[in-house]
Amino acid sequence: MIADACSGFATLYASVAIAILTAYFCNSVRRKILLLLIAAPLAIAVNIMRVLLLTLLVNWFGIDILATKAHELSGLLTFMIALPIIFFLGQNPAIETSATESKK
């Protein structure tokens, strides 16, 4: 049985929440839609990579590896991968920003 803390829902909730906040501050409608559409699949993909990494670690070092910091760090790693991608997709393009400033 998988514990709730290990199921990946925390990554899903955090990714969706950050995507919504980032989309709110984004100027481009296309980027807003992209952020909202990519948040859940990104969280799932990152969590799949986490599970694969943990599976490989268990294969190489045994089941006791899950009782170490490696298990906790893998959860943080999911955030360290997903959140910068969301922020990158949500940033306003420099071309649009400089063109808007030059019109003023």
The count of C-alpha atoms lying within 13 angstroms of the C-alpha of 5, restricted to the half-sphere facing its C-beta, is 6
Which of 83, 69, 81, 89 has the alpha carbon at shortest distance from 23? Answer: 89
Instruction: List pLDDT tens digits, range 55-65.
Output: 898 899 888 88
Instruction: List pLDDT tens digits, range 7-38.
Output: 678 888 989 999 999 999 988 899 999 999 99
Helix, strand, coil shares, percent, the chain, to 5? 85, 0, 15
